[in-house]
A and B are shown apart, each in its own frame.
Chain A
Amino acid sequence: MDLKDKLVSSFMAFENFVDVDAAIHDVRSEAIKTFEIQGFPTKKDEAWKYTSLNSILRHDYSVFPKEENALEYHDVKKYFIHDIDTYKIVFIDGKYSSHLSQTTHDGIDVCLMSAALSKPKYRLIIENYFNKAAAKDSLTSLNTAFSQEGAYIHIPKNKVVEKPIQVLHFSTGNESALMLQPRNLIVVDENSHVQIIERHQSLTDNPILTNSVTEVFANKRAIIDYYKIQNDKDSASLIDNTFVKQKRESHASVHTFSFGGQLTRNNLNFYQQGERVDSTLKGVTIIGDKQHVDHNTLVHHIEPNCESHQDYKGIFGDRSTGVFNGKVMVNKEAQKTNAFQANNNILLSDKASINTKPQLEIFADDVKCSHGCTIGQLDESAMFYMKSRGIPEKEAKALLMFAFSNNVLDSVKIPEIKQRITKLIAKKLGVNLGFDL
């Protein structure tokens, strides 16, 4: 039985097992039908032309996580941002780990999707927001059909959440192959501010496939900064589907740092539903071996006087492959839009490749939209300059790559994250630079 059939036939059993409202049940049943009709995307789909899921779909994944496997904090501490105080929502093999988590209901809700989907006190938020941003494509629908667990974050109005919230997913290899479908909902009300860090980390060489859906709602004047750290093992793959809806004067940013994993696909979608909205989408990709990272972004400018900033940097070594597909849509009403998009890449080997494709659909006439993409090698004259000052080849290359990634790191607001990313980059490049950029 292939994975699609397995998932569809598992659905009935799953529905009997979970505890949800009738309304949610209807949403799920609808979603599994959509998935059944569409199936997994193939390279024949325009949006998947350069990314094939074949190699990761052939494993016989368990689709229901069974037991919670215990992990000790000191064994996984290094995957947390641990030098600052944070809220933590931690999952092990798809099951919530209360032991590793630090949730709260003190003025804000930082807790579990399973609780939000089943308890009456969350009903209003669920009714208003759950599945209201998510698209109806096959992978998102698949997640919707199986959505049960993940992070639930609701920040009521006028709250500046001082502590960042970390959402971590560990997989331990309990199953010979495991498919995870976390579902996150983040609702930030008027004038509130929150910072979120998300990480998926496999601790096993068994194949892991994560098909994650995150819905983010930034209400009036809300500020949301979201950091995704993707540095997983080569046996793990991630399809990240994130949908951000912004009301007027809100600011939302998503920084994606992709350094690992076998295959990573980021479907990142922003919808600007009010005036003077600001959206930031940035990413640094540094991969090698046969790794593959695909950024598929959409910014939909619906209202006037809004801005969007996209800046993606990629460094590709060995036989690694990258894709950047950035779509900007500007509706007729969205006058005075200022949309910026850049995708710059460095290929370190003849065997590495990047497919980059900006797509602009502009229906308004008074807008500023710019886009640019470059593909190059490391600057030889800069290399000689640094070497002539005593900096060896490897370190010189690393410095240039840091310099190349720097304007993405520049807008990271949490110093500890910036430091962590700097260290991850240094480790990835095999150097010790002795200073933090």
Chain B
Amino acid sequence: MSSARKIILGLFAALAAFGPALAEEEKKINLYFWPAYIPEELLQRFTKETGIAITLDLYDTNEALLAKLQAGATGYDVVIPSDYIVPTMVKAGLLQKIDAKAMPNGKNIADGFTAPSFDPERAYTAPYTWGTTGLVYDTAKTGGELPDSWSVFFEPGPLSGKIASLDDEVEVFNAAAYYLGIDKCTETPADAQKILDLLLKQKPDLKLYSSSATVDRVIAGEVAVHHIWNGAAHKVIAAVPTARYIYAREGVTQWADNLAIPTTAAHPDNARLFINWMMDPKNIAEVTNYAGYMNSIKGSEPYLKPELSRDASVNMPAEFADRMRPSKECSPTARELRNKVWTKLKK
């Protein structure tokens, strides 16, 4: 018995010794990113210029990031939370102060992004890219232009069965809220019921819910209309000239993704270096060129591919500015209602 325990203890001692050895401070950083959000060549250039090696892990929702950090995943150095989740993460003590504006490249932060409501001092986050959540469609498949309204999505008529929705609780709920003119953070059960009714009515018209392979799905002609993030829409439009992006008149979510350093980062100094490096217009421009999302850094325009500024899905025409609805974190009550709607929609 006692030697069995020794074996077990020895095993754990060996494992424990193995742990710190792997996490020792060195010239490296661990990024925890959304998929397809940073080109591999840019990472290689960072390593070449700074001597800091990069490892890249991926997550697919802000909530997954939140859960991972809360679950005690220590050692991620740079993460990329969206606007609405930032205050929650700050409140939970998951992010450390970085004072982005005081960084050497902090002066490059574009006007309008220096004091966002989710982080007014830019104390915890530096801007990365911003975008919108709208609809993309192929005029060749829809038989012409469609109105700039969520009605295309919620009351498709003849396009029934040729529509795909993002498989994302927040985005789906928000789209329905805009269309119905309801506050997306509503705490009123009756409002939530109306949203659920709309989504249930729409469900038979949808071919599927999916947040992945969106670009490929439209290009391959599997669907005619796709609920989509605008960077993906740009990739569709680049491949299919007949494709269009819709800024619905009822309102479109405008979101902003940000670089931040978790409290439990293993290489915080390298992480700061990386964030500062990413606020260099030349570097962040490569992200925009690759991912199709506009960045929030002054002076990156000369480095952008010309087709980006020509594409209305990336370079938003000024006339649509009043359709923007910044995304925000809802109260626990509102979130619970939203999650109930989602579960009832998919039960």
**Do A and B share a complex?**
no
Interface of A toward B, CB cutoff 8 Å: none
